Structure 1
Amino acid sequence: MIIVTTENIAGYKIKEVKGACYGLVVRSRGFAGQVTASLRSLIGGEIKEYTEMLEDARKQAIDRLIKNAHAMGANAVIMFRYDSGEIGQNMSEIVAYGTAVVIEKAE
């Protein structure tokens, strides 16, 4: 699956637009991770527990985006983006989204 942030893919032409597709993940840091992160925030610097959680969530969101695009019959996603937000005090939402398309090599 080709995934790009651009409107077009060099060397390919868009044969069909399938529509919007997305992959959504909501994650919560476990109690031990929250305590460690809270202590680390007092010192300052990177809070690795949350960085790792968000990296994992982004990977999972992309995997779900790809699964969604395949289910729509697409072989590529254009205009790819991420968005994130918080739900409550300890949950993060990550969404990967774009436009599912069918592409073929340009002649």
Structure 2
Amino acid sequence: MIVTTTESVAGHVVTESLGQVFGVVVRSRGLGGNIMAGLRSVIGGEIKEYTALVEDTRRHAIDRLVMNARLMGADAVVMMRFDSGSIGQTMNEVVAYGTAVKIVRA
């Protein structure tokens, strides 16, 4: 499945727009990770525990986006974007969304 942030897929023509598609993931860092992140925030610099959490969550959100697009019969997702936010102080939400489309080679 092709997933792109652009309006079209290079070398392809969109033949049908199937509608919006998304993948949502909410994750929480464990107590140990929160303690380590808290200690790192005092010292300064990158908080690797949260960087890893966000990277993993984005990958998981894209996986769900692709799964949902396949269920719709899509060949690709165009205009893919991320949105993220916090739920409480320990949870991170990431949404990957875009438009599911059918494509053919140009």
TM norm structure 2: 0.98
> Where do 4+ consecutive residues of structure 1 move more than 3 Å?
none
The residue correspondences of 1:18-97 to structure 2 (distance < 5 A) are: 18-97=18-97
2:12 equivalent in structure 1: 12
Aligned-pair CA distance for 1:10: 1.5
Provide structure 1 residue ranges, at least 5 long, that are not aligned to the other structure.
Answer: none
Instruction: Quote the Cα distance in structure 2 between the aligned partners of 1:5 and 1:55.
Output: 17
What SS does the aligned partner of 1:33 have? helix
How many pairs does the alignment contain? 106
Q: Percent identity?
A: 60
Question: What is the Cα-based RMSD across aligned positions, in Å?
Answer: 0.5
Task: Report the Cα offset of residue 9 of structure 1.
Answer: 1.3
